[in-house]
Amino acid sequence: MGNVVHLPTGKALTVQTAADRYLDALNNPNTARNYGIGIRKTVEHIGPGRPLDSIADDEVGQALEQLWGTAAVNTWNTRRAAVQSWCTWSQERGYDGPSVPAWAKRITPPDSETPARSHAEIDRLISRRDVHLREKTLWRMLYETAGRSDEILGVNIEELDFAGRRGPVKAKGAKAKTRRRGQSRDDFVLETVYWGAGTARLLPRLLRGRTRGPVFVTHRKPGPGKVVSARDVCPDTGLARLSYGQARALLDEATATFGPGSGWDLHEYRHASLTRLGEQGASLLMLMAKSRHKKAENVRKYFKPSPEAIAELTSLLAPTDANR
């Protein structure tokens, strides 16, 4: 009869070491960075040198409450989820440690407060003469595809089907085809976005003969000290891909009315697109197909019909002439 091997329990492990081991075990660098914010602040609040098995559940809950108890709902949920994941990971590996207490509950997020710009507002902005062709094309493409900003900014010319007015994007939460570090774009399942006539008219003018590389590029080449992947640089011009931060700043500059930071946000085009389609009679299933949302409740947060559309809908309930 073989020897019985007991699983390790009660390992002498500090809070800081447990956190470091968990974050090092995360394969996705974006997840590690986002989770690291909440976990490191919680560790600092609790005491990094304390033994993990000496921490009570309520201490974790109190740390979360003091750090993010007055933060936005989404921030609270994100930080709580990171700490809960870390605690669960530690326990699954035989370490005696705390859990997030039941009273530190996840909060149901409110409906999005992002405004839905009207079709006329978007047309007026894109038709302005002081707006550069690159921004016109990006904003029109965001509106017509109902795509996320990072998805559209990440497209390359050689991947687009100009005749079919469509192209593949790496979506938020894309499923990986392989399990390895340093995964490239092709290692993920891509989704398709579709654009309309407005984008189709602007794209050829923007590209001006370019046949490969990023669709949206900066006006300058990356500096000598900046590391940029080959996919993010135009091989013909040497210009780098336009970043989300740069694109957001350009939109804010063009739309700000009360100083920097008071302008539109890139995400508003997605809201405006789905709201416009909903007001025109698109079904929930079609809206989900267009936005590529997997849950109906997520689409509902994006659909914000205008007061005029609600008033027009309400008029259908009025009595007919024969019943007045």
Cβ atoms < 10 Å from Cβ of 243: 14
User: Is 148 one of the annotated active-site residues of the chain?
Assistant: yes
Query: In this structure, which long-range contacts are made by residues 130-134, counting pairs with CB atoms below 8 Å and at least 24 apart in sequence?
Result: 130/254, 131/254, 132/250, 133/202, 133/205, 133/206, 134/206, 134/216, 134/217, 134/242
Helical axes 119-126 vs 268-279, angle rounded to 10°: 130
Annotated active-site residue in 80, 136, 140, 293: 293
Using DSSP's 3-state secondary structure scheme, residue 99 falls into: coil
> Six-digit token pair at 164?
């079919």
Neighbours of 92 (CB within 10 A): 8
- Phi, psi at 228, each rounded to 5°: -130, 135
Of 54, 44, 43, 45, nearest in space to 12 by CA: 54
| Residue 56 dihedral angles phi and psi, to the nearest 5° | -85, 155
Q: Which of 33, 132, 177, 201 is catalytic?
A: 177
- The answer to whether residues 185 and 170 touch, using CB atoms and an 8 Å cutoff, is yes
- Among residues 79, 148, 271, 290, the one annotated as catalytic is 148
Residue 172 annotated as catalytic: no
**Annotation says 292 is catalytic:** no
Calpha distance 111→246 (Å, rounded): 27
Q: Which of 41, 119, 267, 300 is catalytic?
A: 267
Q: Which of 270, 276, 290, 304 is catalytic?
A: 270
> What is the C-alpha separation between 146 and 195, in angstroms, rounded?
9
302 is catalytic: yes
Which residues partner with 257 through β-bridges? Answer: none
Annotated active-site positions, please? 148, 177, 267, 270, 293, 302
